[in-house]
Amino acid sequence: MKMQRVLLTGCCMCGVLAAAAMADESIVNSKHDLSVRGPGPIRAVQENEVCIFCHTPHNAAPQTPLWNRENPRTYYRIYESSTTDARIDQPSGPSKMCLSCHDGSMALGNVLSRPMAGPIVMTARTMPPRHGDLTIDLSDDHPIGFRYDRALTNVDNQLRPVEVVTRELPLGVHGELHCTSCHDPHNNELGDFLRMSDQMSAMCLACHDLDGWYRASHAVSGKRTTGRVVDPTERLKYASVTDNGCSCCHKIHSAPQSERLLRFTKEEHNCLNCHSGTVASFNVAAEIGKRSGHDVTMRTGTHDPAETPFSMRRHVECSDCHNPHAVEHNPMGTVRGTFGQTVKGPNLHVSGVSITGRETDRATYLYEICFKCHGDSTSRPRLRTSRQISQTNVRLEFRTSNPSFHPVAGPRRATDSPSLIPPLRNGSVITCTDCHNSDNARSAGGSGANGPHGSMFDSLLVRNYETADFTVESAQAYALCYGCHSRDSILNDESFSRHRRHIVDIRTPCGVCHDPHGIYRGQGNATEHSNLINFDLSVVMPADTTSGRRVTYEDTGRLSGTCTMTCHGFTHVSFPYANTAAGGSTSQVRSLSRGANR
C-alpha cells in the first residue's frame, strides 16, 4: 500500500516535471530548427544539430550569445518618416545577427564552426524571397536601431514610458529597439516568433499609446475580415477588425507603402478597401465618385501628416478629416442644427485651424477641420460666383464679428430670421455639414454615411440649390435653403417683403442677392452687407444714379432697406422695402415702390 502511494506520487511528480518541460514551445521543430529534421521548407540537407546554425560553444564571433555567423557588412536603407521623432540608425547588435540570414544576402549554411569551403549544405542557399527575406531595404520595415529612451518618449507623447515598455519587451543594452524586442527566436508558440500575442494588437500597443485608440471603431469593431477582403495580396491573421487591429491597415514588415508602413501605396486604398461596402457599414467609396465631392483619388503622395495647412499643396485624403486611430461611430440625429458644432466621433483627434486662424493639433469644432483647406490655405478652392465682395477664405466669411454670416462659428446677434424651422431659431448654431454633405447622408434622411464625402449636387451640397438665373421656383429648386428656412414663410414675405415677387414672379434664385457663407467685416459693413446681401454680379448690374453707376444695398432697420442696381433689366434706385410685421408703414412703402416701379 505504502509502495503504491510512493509510486503514485513519483508518477505525479514526473508528470509535473514533464509538463513544465513541455510548457514552452521549443526551438526544436519550430521554423528556426534548420536541421535536417526541421519542419520548414528551408533546412539542412544532412546536418542534424539545431543550435549550430547560430551558436557554437567555441571560437564564436566576439558577441554575446556565442554567435556562429559573420555579421553582415551591408549598408541598409533605413526607415524614414516625416512624423517620427526617433533617431533611427543602422541596425546593430542582435538585429544584425538576425539580418545575417534575414537580409537575404548571406548564405544560410556559412557558419564560423565550419570552414568557408565546406559550409552546411542547405535546401536554399540564401533566404528566398517572401520567406522572411527583409532584403537590404529596411525602409519598409518597422524601424529598429533607435534608442527607445526618455528623450524619445518626452517628444512623442504617443509612445509609452520606457519603464512600462520594458516590463513586456526587452530593449538593447543602450535601450535601443532590436528585432529581439518583438521576436523571441527560440519560441514560436505564438507564431512569427512573437514575444506577445498580436491579437487586438497587444504587441503594438505595448509601445504605441495612440490617442483615442481604445474607444476607436477600428479597435472595437467586430466586422468580419475573413478571406482576402481587406488585402487581396494577404490573408489577415484574425477574422475580425478588432482582433487584427493595427494590421488591418499596417504591415510591420515589407509594407508596400514604406512611410508609415501601410498596406497600400495609394492613401485612400487603405481606407476605401474596407469602406466600400465590403467590411464597413457604409459605402463611402460610392460617395466619393459623385458629381461633386472630396475626391481622395485625385492625388497620391501629396498628403503628409506633418504638413502645415497654410502652405500645403492642394489635395484631399481621408486622413485630412479623419484620424483612423481615434475615429468613433456617431449615432447622430437627422435634424439640422441639433448635431452641434463640437467635433463628434468620426472626426475626433484631427488637426484644424481655429476661427482666429490658429493651428491646432486637435480640432474642437467641426468647422476647424474644414478651415484647414478652405481657410487661409494657399491651395484653397477658387471663387465660383463673382460678387460685389470676393472672398475665398471661408474662415474670414464665418467670423462672428462680420456684418452678417451663417451661424457656424457662433450664433448671430440679430433676430431677423422669422423663417427658421424649429428647432432652429434665432441664436441657433449650425455646422458646415448641415449644408455641405453627401446627398445620401443619414443626417439628410438618406441611407449613406454622414459627412461631405460626395454629392450629386454642385458644391458638395446636401440638397439641390439652383443658382441659374430665371429658375422656376419650386420646393425642389431651393431645397437646400428651404431645409432650414420655411418655404411658406419666405414666399409669404415674412422677412423680406418682396421675396415672393423676386423668387416666384421674376424667377431670381436665392444666391443672386445672398452670399451664403458671410461677408467679412474687413470688406463689408453692416449697412451694405447685412442679411448676407452680396450681389451676384453676373445677374445684378450697376444702376445709373446721380452719384455714378452703383450696385448698393442699404440696411435701414429691421427687415427694411433700399436697393440701387439694375436686375433683369429693371433699375432700382434707392428702391425701398419694409416689412409691415417689422412696424414699417405699409402705405409709405407702397407709394415709394409705385414711384420706383414707374
Partner 1 sequence: MKHTGVASLALVFVLCVAGGWAWAEIEGSKHDFSKQEWSGGDKCGVCHAPHKVMPPTTGPEWDPKADVQRTFGKPVSDSEMPGNGTLVCIRCHDGTIAKDAVGGTKKQRFANIHHPARVSSAHGTTDHPVGIEYPQFKEGYHPPLLVTARGNVPLPEGKVECVSCHDPHDMSEVRYMLIKSNARSALCLTCHKK
Rounded to the nearest angstrom, the gap between the alpha carbon of residue 546 and the centroid of all alpha carbons in its chain is 56
Q: How far is the CB of 197 from partner 1 (least distance, A)?
A: 19
* Contact flag: residue 190 with partner 1 (CB under 8 A): no
Q: Choose which of 59, 233, 546, 547 interacts with partner 1 (CB under 8 A).
A: 59
Sign of CA dihedral 371, 376, 382, 388: positive
Contact segment (CB under 8 A) with partner 1 among 49-57, 238-246, 390-398, 495-503 equals: 49-57
* Cβ at position 341, least distance to partner 1 in Å: 56
Closest Cα partner for 75 from 132, 142, 131, 135? 135
Binding-site residue total for partner 1 (CB under 8 A)? 25
Cβ closest to partner 1, residue 24 vs residue 488: 24
Letters for 223-262 (x = contact with partner 1 by CB under 8 A, - = none) are ----------------------------------------
Q: Is 34 in the site for partner 1 (CB under 8 A)?
A: no
Q: Which is nearer to partner 1, 40 or 542 (CB)?
A: 40
Examine residue 117 and tell whether it contacts partner 1 (CB under 8 A). Answer: no
In the chain, the N- to C-terminal Cα span, in Å, equals: 129
Q: Is 386 in the site for partner 1 (CB under 8 A)?
A: no
Q: Is 149 in the site for partner 1 (CB under 8 A)?
A: no
**Which residues is 578 bridged to in the sheet?**
560
- Give least dist CB 117 to partner 1, A: 19
Per CB under 8 A, does 61 bind partner 1?
yes
Q: Give least dist CB 326 to partner 1, A.
A: 38
Should residue 27 be labelled a site residue for partner 1 when binding is judged by CB under 8 A? yes
Contact between 71 and partner 1 (CB under 8 A)? Answer: no
Q: Which secondary structure element, helix H or strand E, spans residue 404, and what is its range?
A: strand 404-405
Furthest-apart CA pair in the chain: how many Å? 129
Point out which span in 48-56, 266-274, 326-334, 506-514 binds partner 1 (CB under 8 A): 48-56
- Binds partner 1 by CB under 8 A, chosen from 6, 10, 15, 24: 24
Q: Please tell me what DSSP assigns to residue 276.
A: B
b/e sequence 206-231, b meaning 16+ C-beta within 10 Å: bbbbbebbeebbbbebebebeeeebb
Minimum distance of partner 1 from residue 116's CB (angstroms): 17
Q: For 262, list phi and psi in degrees, rounded to 5.
A: -95, 155
> How far is 112 from 244, CA to CA, in rounded Å?
40
CA–CA dist 235, 324 (Å, integer): 21
Binding of residue 194 to partner 1 (CB under 8 A): no
Considering only 1, 2, 19, 62, the residue that binds partner 1 (CB under 8 A) is: 62
Candidate segments 17-25, 171-179, 193-201, 586-594, binder of partner 1 by CB under 8 A: 17-25
581 DSSP assignment = G
Q: Does 358 bind partner 1 (CB under 8 A)?
A: no
Closest to 322 (Cα-Cα) out of 377, 411, 240, 249: 249
Cα 553 to Cα 561: distance, rounded to the nearest angstrom: 7
Give the three-state DSSP class for 398.
coil
* Part in contact with partner 1 (CB under 8 A); list of ranges 46-54, 84-92, 139-147, 571-579: 46-54
Of 49, 70, 85, 295, which lies in the binding site for partner 1, with binding defined by CB under 8 A?
49
Question: Which amino acid type is present at position 213?
Answer: W
Q: How far is the CB of 264 from partner 1 (least distance, A)?
A: 38
Pick the stretch among 59-67, 121-129, 269-277, 351-359 that binds partner 1 (CB under 8 A).
59-67
Q: Which stretches of 110-208 are DSSP H helices?
A: 150-155, 162-168, 179-182, 202-205
Q: Per CB under 8 A, which region of 47-55, 70-78, 137-145, 352-360 contacts partner 1?
A: 47-55
Please answer whether residues 383 and 392 qualify as being in contact, where contact means their C-beta atoms are separated by less than 8 angstroms.
yes
Under the binding rule (CB under 8 A), the answer on residue 21 touching partner 1 is yes
With contact defined as beta carbons under 8 Å apart, do 49 and 32 qualify? no
At 306, which amino acid appears? A
Q: How far is the CB of 308 from partner 1 (least distance, A)?
A: 49
Which residue from 64, 82, 154, 265 is in contact with partner 1, where contact means CB under 8 A? 64
For residue 573, the surrounding DSSP H or E stretch is: strand 570-578
- The residue whose grid cell reads 436686375 is 567
Q: Name residues contacting partner 1, limited to 404-423 (CB under 8 A).
A: none
| Residue 344 grid coordinates | 463628434
CB of 46 to partner 1, least distance (A): 12
Q: Which residues pair with 283 in a beta bridge?
A: 276
Q: Nearest approach, Cβ of 13 to partner 1 (angstroms)?
A: 11
DSSP string, 65-98: TTB-SPPP----B----TT--S------HHHHHH
**Minimal distance, residue 50 CB to partner 1, in Å:** 4
- Cα–Cα distance measured from residue 299 to residue 175, given in angstroms and rounded to the nearest whole number: 40
Window contacting partner 1 (CB under 8 A); options: 27-35, 99-107, 220-228, 398-406: 27-35
Residues that bind partner 1 in the complex, under the rule CB under 8 A: 17, 21, 24, 26-28, 35, 37, 48-52, 55, 57-64, 66, 186-187
